Structure 1
């Protein structure tokens, strides 16, 4: 095999880089998408939803970090489930993670295109979205250190902008505004309010979706046993503070019902306080783009590592594991995810699910993948504690088994409610799973020919490591 096709990644990322990736993957969720939860649950109902989901993510990350440090693999959740449950378990987790990370970028790219269209009306939003793919795929191809440094820079700017938003809105904040009609649009709690709390789960998940993608950079991180726990724990704490701060300050700026069905709640909330001509408002509108870019760029890093790891292990065509000999980046995987994303962009008005265009359901589809992956990861944690008690665990989940138990149960609740409220999208998710499973069953030769992988070689039912090519 030539150097151009080697499947070895380079360890060059610091803990600060990893923190930037973890927060950057998620931070667009603070800028848009979450306020739709107010439409179904009201401000108070959605506050309860967000508390539930924040508890799920916090306990999940503290538990997930044990897996990431014990098995620092580019496949992330795929590797953990493979190690715990064998080949089929790896397939399920890998499929779910792939759906999460391949379906999220087109939605964010279209948001970038829509934003640029507002500033430049002559610019086609879809072409702008494709341009974003081209630019950030190119940046990822250039090298992981370059890509991660850019991600860190843009993430810090996005965080500063959220803090500026909170500071500017604070003088006009009113708790009475936040609590007015705070239960599903009414003043009093009712059975409908409880239903709204559960229906709003996908929008609360959007606050934190994809933070686990930093695990896919663990194979490229220096000293992951020490840097990963610090980066992950600092990342989830950063996001919890930003999520609640952003939501509460926006809801208390004025009539929150005016913000519940729009894609730019923060500029509109600020407008209620400072007016349309304020320089603060214009700064927020422009710099707010950084949040979208940080998540878009970071998720490209995430999906490319997942595709690379699945191909290296024989779950996808071997050519997708190609790594450039000079930059040590998985070029084929980066381009493959981009092709799918660009196809989704141009299918926006051609494919309709439940009366909505394709992109209206992309976020929900991505969340389905994430929730299934969370369930598989926590199940893998419990299984590996029993099957491999001597596995080196540089970081152990605190309050075991309570923390991973909370994460698992809340993820199961989230999955059940999402299926109930999004049955057609879930049917499409199952259809994709069946197609993926058919490929898995028809291509055992790919896994037989896959190169040896020490981190996966102890999977159940495997007496010896996979044969090398």
Structure 2
């Protein structure tokens, strides 16, 4: 085994986490965060995949992506338990590949978690607009940011308890949705034109299946954010594996149920390219004036709020960890003296998200809606992070066999290899079908890398710069 280089030793995070953050989270709260981070993906975003691939084509895409996420989570959990660090993927890549690896993983995770909330906030605005037509969706999205940034600043215990509550309500609401549309369930509706407008699978359907990848990923995007709460977990080596595994099982079941029931309720083409497919699907079955519809709109907000609130927690911990390690300005690592939360990191990520919401002319391009482009940008960050995380797992297995692993990836090396190969294929496909968004994403990485090169001294004097231990 080759010894770690001097530069890597300087900037590699310790396994024993810094306890600047309170350790208060239990297993159920972590499960609530895992599912809550993602569950808005069941409410909106995914139906854009129908526009590209049709219902059956998108089902194929979703099943492959579900397999990718399942193998990824089973593998990623090994890293989370071995290195319980608020930086999550940033910490794993830095441990495996040194400062540059840490930068790219951290920047990718930051793009994922900072760009996902504005898309969710816009969906919250769309849902509220159904009830209050005079309320502009963007203004409602701004209000959501202000409320939930404040809640996250008040304290992680309160935030996690709220997250668990709204996640349970969101799951209940999805089950109610399936029950209410059951009288109108006709699987023939789901099958009609299911291969990109055709009733039969042809070669013309294949491009759409690949183009729909970002929207299938949206079903599961951000579940890995539990890793960023690892420093705040009471017993991360036990609770995190349970939370992750239970979380991915929950999400796969809900994703398939919602997609099939919505597509079988009527003309699914009317649900593509909109931000509120579930209320519209229910409207087909129960009518515009039904009390069920109004209930869905109101309770449907719980799913969006759960993800929005949870991802704010995630992006703030990523910004905090990067700033603590000297990869971002140090003031962003400030802990609130009373609430013990990274309050400036919460505000900074929110400022970027709010700017994205009001940047129609900058983000609406390539024939895609504002929401679709924001979703795609977030997915680009996620996929790069998945690739780097699986590479880090393989490298640490080789270079750090002494690392304490309370949980090991099952069927190693096959599970992480499958997740890695799928992630690389997803990245290649997304680069091909989303070239303009890809250029913006690469531009953000390049700009961040210039900052990285100019701030080496800042990292050398950072609080989080001690060598990796074998504890």
Please say whether Structure 1 and Structure 2 have the same fold, judged by a TM-score greater than 0.5.
Answer: yes
Correspondence list, 1:308-347, <5 A: 308-347=320-359
How far apart, CA to CA, are the structure 2 residues paired with 1:345 and 1:206? 18
**SS at 2:398 equivalent:** helix
Within a 5 Å distance, the mapping from 1:395-434 to structure 2 comes to 395-434=407-446
Extract unaligned runs of 5+ from structure 1. Answer: 1-5, 460-469
Instruction: Tell me if 1:32 matches 2:57.
Output: no
Question: Closer, same or farther in 2 for the Cα pair 1:389/1:315, shift >3 Å?
Answer: same
- 407 and 214 in structure 1: CA distance in 2 versus 1, 3 angstrom threshold: same
* TM-score, with structure 2 as normaliser: 0.93
Q: Distance in 1 between matches of 2:371 and 2:261?
A: 28
Shifted more, 37-46 versus 228-237: the winner is 37-46
2:127 equivalent to 1:115: yes
User: Which stretch shows the higher mean deviation, 341-350 or 153-162?
Assistant: 341-350
Corresponding residue of 1:247: 259
Query: Residue in 2 aligned with 1:275?
Result: 287
Query: When the two structures are superposed, what TM-score results if normalisation uses the length of structure 1?
Result: 0.94
Quote the residue 1:462 is aligned against.
Answer: none
Cα distance in 1 between the residues matched to 2:272 and 2:51: 6
CA distance in 1, matches of 2:391, 2:362: 38
Q: Show the 5 A alignment for 1:143-154.
A: 143-154=155-166
Which structure 2 residues correspond to residues 313-392 of structure 1 after superposition, within 5 A?
313-356=325-368, 358-392=370-404
1:83–1:458: 8 Å Cα contact kept in structure 2? no
Does structure 2 retain, via aligned residues, the 8 Å contact 1:216–1:306?
yes
Contact 1:84 1:384 in 2 (8 A): yes
1:443 matched residue in structure 2: 455
**Residue 274 of structure 1, CA deviation:** 2.2
Residue 8 of structure 1 aligns to a residue whose secondary structure is coil
> Partner of 1:457 in structure 2?
468
**Partner Cα distance (1:33, 1:289) in 2:** 14
Q: Give the whole-Å Cα distance in 2 for the aligned partners of 1:148 and 1:19.
A: 10
1:288-307 to structure 2, matched below 5 A, reads 288-307=300-319
Match of 2:227 in 1: 215
Cross-structure match for 1:139: 151
Per-residue CA deviations over 1:284-327 (Å, capped at 9, x if unaligned) read 11111111111111110000000000000110011110011221
Instruction: Single out whichever of 178-187 and 220-229 deviates more from structure 2.
Output: 178-187
Cα distance change of structure 1 residues 370 and 350 upon mapping to structure 2, 3 Å threshold:
closer
Is the contact made by 1:7 and 1:321 (CA closer than 8 Å) also made in structure 2? no
Structure 1 contact 348–359 (Cα < 8 Å) conserved: no
Q: What secondary structure sits across from 1:286 in the alignment?
A: helix
**TM-superposed deviation, 1:88:** 0.4
Show structure 2 runs of 5+ residues with no match.
1-17
Q: 2:60 aligns with which of 48, 56, 59?
A: 48
> 1: distance between equivalents of 2:294 and 2:350?
31
Q: Secondary structure at the match of 1:86?
A: helix
**Does the aligned pair in 1 maintain the 2:126–2:276 contact within 8 Å?**
no
State the match for 2:217 in structure 1: 205
Residues 88, 355 of structure 1: CA spacing in aligned structure 2 closer, same or farther, 3 A cutoff? Answer: same
1:167 corresponds to: 179
Deviation digits for residues 211-242 of structure 1, max 9, x if unmatched?
10111001100110000000000000000000
Q: What does the per-residue CA deviation read over 1:344-387, in whole Å, with 9 as the maximum and x for residues that have no partner?
A: 12222455432556544111000000000000000000000000
The verdict on how the C-alpha distance between 1:352 and 1:270 changes in structure 2, with shifts beyond 3 A counting, is: closer
Paired with 2:121 and 2:140, the residues of 1 have a C-alpha distance of 8
Query: Residue 7 of structure 1 contacts residue 312 of structure 1 at CA under 8 Å; is this kept in 2?
Result: no
Give the distance between the partners of 2:166 and 2:112, measured in 1 at CA. 22
Determine if the alignment matches structure 1 residue 186 to structure 2 residue 179: no
CA spacing shift, 1:429–1:77, aligned 2, 3 Å: same
1:57 aligns with 2:69: yes
* 385-394 or 124-133, larger mean C-alpha shift: 124-133
